Amino acid sequence: MKKRYVIFTAIIAFIAVMGYVVPEESGIWEFSDNISTADIAWMITATIFVLMMTPGLSFFYGGMVRKKNVISTILQSIIAMGVISVLWVFVGFSLSFGDDLGGLGIIGNPSTYLMFHNVGGAATDNLSMQLGLTIPLALYALFQMKFAIITPSLITGSFAERVRFSSYMVFMALFCIFVYCPLAHMTWHPDGLFAKMHVKDFAGGITVHASSGVAALVGAIFLGRRKEKKSEPANVPYVILGAALLWLGWFGFNAGSSLHADGMAVKAFLNTNTAAATAMLLWIFLDCLTGRKPSAMGAAIGGVLGLVAITPSAGWVSIGDSITIAVITTLVSNLACHWKSRTSVDDALDVFPTHGVGGIVGTALSGVFVYKYESDILAAEGVTHLQFFFNHVIALAIVFVYTFLVTYGLYYLTNKMIPMRVSEEDEHIGLDISQHDEHYGRPEVGKRELAEYYSEKHEE
């Protein structure tokens, strides 16, 4: 264990040296003439709200697992704020939004913004002009960083209660570099492959939810089933708290993706709330129709699903469309959850049936609903409604295949470096104790069993 943390520390030291070597040009924090202070104020607020989603997700997931895995599950989300933030400054933003490499629209040039070089208070660089930014490039980079942080956090729900913490950190970094950054470039960079296909992803249906959902499915398959699959949630109020924080944070996630304090931001805000409310109610009603009682867990899951569903189209579609999108996506996702429960795949917290399916269906519906609001622009470029829809389907197929294959390779590679799954004994004791020497409330295992466990570890 010490050897791997020596390597981790050496990586941080290397990045620190790079930070010293890469100079900051004088005057980089001076605002350019096209900067809007109103847009700055809104985007700082939106960025804060998006970051709040990660602690929200940590409570949402943490309340669903066994008591002996609560701390570990929460930390798996929180640690992303550390790993991804440093990686994003070092090279992640460059890979996502740097100058297109090779003209393929797949990945950015890692040297464009290496160590945030030339990322400051102006909005006069090539990317800013292409995006029409009225905020400093540094603020845009920070806003996008929060999306990169929450994406690997979403994956953790699939392999909850059985993943080794150190191997998860390695996988997270690799996933960001080889999956998230290429998809962000393809989708949101003006020269990206999907952008050129006129694929519309307002706030992350492809980049965040479809990618994390598919990666979650692969993770559940790769790591295998838990030894003790049946369990009661440790803290349902945590789940409700997490869902509430996600709902609040999602206003920054979606409305902030307008990048301006304008009508589109307000429209995205309203659509986000409407879709979440619709999905929450429908999920409860579907539970009751199948003989269950209305539950807090069902309300929380339904609300979050509605947020996922509207994300790809939030700033474009009408209020009525947002309700329709939420209803269709909730029906499909609810069926997917029931289907998953009949399979041998142990996606512990239903990440693929909710975030994955929600992102995929929501993006496909963008191909149906968004065209009528962008028809003048698209028709002028010779794009018919049918072409527009099929471009979204093609993009989703590319995302699914690419993410599945690359993520499986990353799990395999990480597992070769550090075994990803904890031992059966560690899983039985719980990840809180076995991975972190901490516990939430009274340990589930007895004092004698715990003493024997520590005795064996000491001897090792």
The reply to whether 27 falls in a domain is no
Q: Are 191 and 131 in contact (CB under 8 A)?
A: no
What pLDDT band is residue 349 in, cutting at 50, 70 and 90?
Answer: very high
Between 450 and 368, the higher pLDDT residue = 368
The reply to whether 453 falls in a domain is no
What's the whole-number mean pLDDT along residues 30-57?
96
Identity of the residue numbered 358: G
The reply to whether 26 falls in a domain is no
Element (H, E) at 454: helix 447-459
Q: Which residues contact 340 (CB under 8 A, 6 or more apart)?
A: 347, 350, 352, 353
Tell me the CATH number at 42: 1.10.3430.10
Q: Is the pLDDT of residue 450 over 90?
A: no
What pLDDT band is residue 457 in, cutting at 50, 70 and 90?
Answer: low
Give the C-alpha separation, 171 to 323, whole Å.
Answer: 37
pLDDT at 331 (0 to 100): 97
The reply to whether 382 falls in a domain is yes
What pLDDT band is residue 458 in, cutting at 50, 70 and 90?
Answer: low
How many structural domains does the chain have? 1
**Count of helix runs (H) and strand runs (E) in the chain:** 21, 0
The reply to whether 56 falls in a domain is yes
What pLDDT band is residue 448 in, cutting at 50, 70 and 90?
Answer: confident
The reply to whether 320 falls in a domain is yes
Q: 439 lies in which domain range?
A: 35-443
The per-residue pLDDT for range 219-278, each reduced to its tens digit, is 999 999 999 877 789 999 999 999 999 999 999 999 999 999 999 999 999 999 999 999
The reply to whether 449 falls in a domain is no
Q: Are 218 and 406 in contact (CB under 8 A)?
A: no
Global pTM value = 0.94
Which residues is 421 bridged to in the sheet?
163
The reply to whether 6 falls in a domain is no
